[in-house]
Amino acid sequence: MSQASGSRHSIGFIKEVTYGVTPATPVFNALRHKTTSINLAKAIMQSEENRGDRQIADFRHGTRSVSGNVVTELSFGSFDDILENALGGAWAANVLKAGVLRSSFTIERRFNDVNQFLRYTGVQVDSLAMPMTTGSLVDMTFGFLGQNMSTDTAIILGATYPAAPTTAPMSALGGTVLEGGVPIGVVTDFSWNLANGLSSRFVIGTDISLEPNIARSNVTGTLVAFFETANLYEKFISEVTSSIQVSASDGVSSYDILFPKIKFTGGDVPMAGEGSISVTMPFQALLDPVTGTNIQITRNP
């Protein structure tokens, strides 16, 4: 009997028109990925009855929820729909800003060597992490929250699966880092995180959630640079408002990620040996009244 292997695993996704409902004859977009942990979980309701024989009388399955991560590499055009969902915005003239738009996906994991399918419905992006380091491709980790899951041994009737994009993965080597509009040539690491604060909403009569509640768009990050002057550190000490822009490129196309208004929330200059000393600067992104957003992504074909 055949056994599933990661090399034959694929993921598809399609935007839902109605929350939690997979569209008929879906055209699944390929979700490029390295790893995934997306899974169904159930709450457990255990009986507290005392019987005299020390035995647990029973337990029941409770509410359902889908959660987990998809880890992938940033590439041009491959994740634009998912980035819209993460930010709650819509691309306009190749610019995406944080907003209040809601949408959801059906995500399908396909185990091609054993012809098994796991389908997750009502899936939304709860979190996004993007670390950028020298000598590495730009990774992204999408954290998802969903409503329900089903299994199958065949595709949905009429479903199609276009080929996955083949755009090259991006790195930060061809990009730039701007702080306060000024290039910084000594940044060694940069990471940013988006948290949407999704939470399931359960009601009596069903074990699946309504569309989840969504909290504020919370964007944070950390900049690490070789320590040359105290200029960055002074901005933390004096609570100076600044901005940060980073870029990632595949040598042809690129994304510019702008945090138009930030405040540094800390500063650390550790010394652990005779090597180079770096300054680590975490920051909080804030609403910028000029752009109307705390984060702005611009795609450059």
Host domain of residue 161: 9-44+60-300
Comparing CA positions, the residue from 220, 232, 213, 205 lying closest to residue 259 is: 220
Q: What angle do CA 79, 81, 83 make, to 5 degrees?
A: 65
Query: pLDDT of the chain along its 301 residues, tens only?
Result: 689 999 999 999 999 999 999 999 999 999 999 999 999 999 999 999 999 999 999 999 999 999 999 999 999 999 999 999 999 999 999 999 999 999 999 999 999 999 999 999 999 999 999 999 988 899 999 999 999 999 999 999 999 999 999 999 999 876 778 999 988 878 889 999 999 999 999 999 999 999 999 999 999 999 998 888 888 889 999 999 999 999 999 999 999 999 999 999 998 888 888 888 889 999 999 999 999 999 999 999 9
84 three-class SS: helix
Distance (Å, whole) CA 296 – CA 97: 5
Report yes or no on 3 lying in a domain.
no
Q: What secondary structure does DSSP assign to 197-247, as a single string? A: --EEE--TT-SS-EEEE----EEEEEEEEE-S-SHHHHHHHTT-EEEEEEE
Domain count, the chain: 1
Report yes or no on 2 lying in a domain.
no
Evaluate whether 28 touches 164 at the Cβ level (below 8 Å).
no
pLDDT at 2: 80
Report yes or no on 228 lying in a domain.
yes
Tokens of 96: 């995406």
83, containing H or E segment: helix 80-87
Report yes or no on 52 lying in a domain.
no
Distance (Å, whole) CA 125 – CA 103: 9
190 three-class SS: strand
pTM for the full model?
0.94
Report yes or no on 1 lying in a domain.
no
Report yes or no on 49 lying in a domain.
no
Report yes or no on 159 lying in a domain.
yes
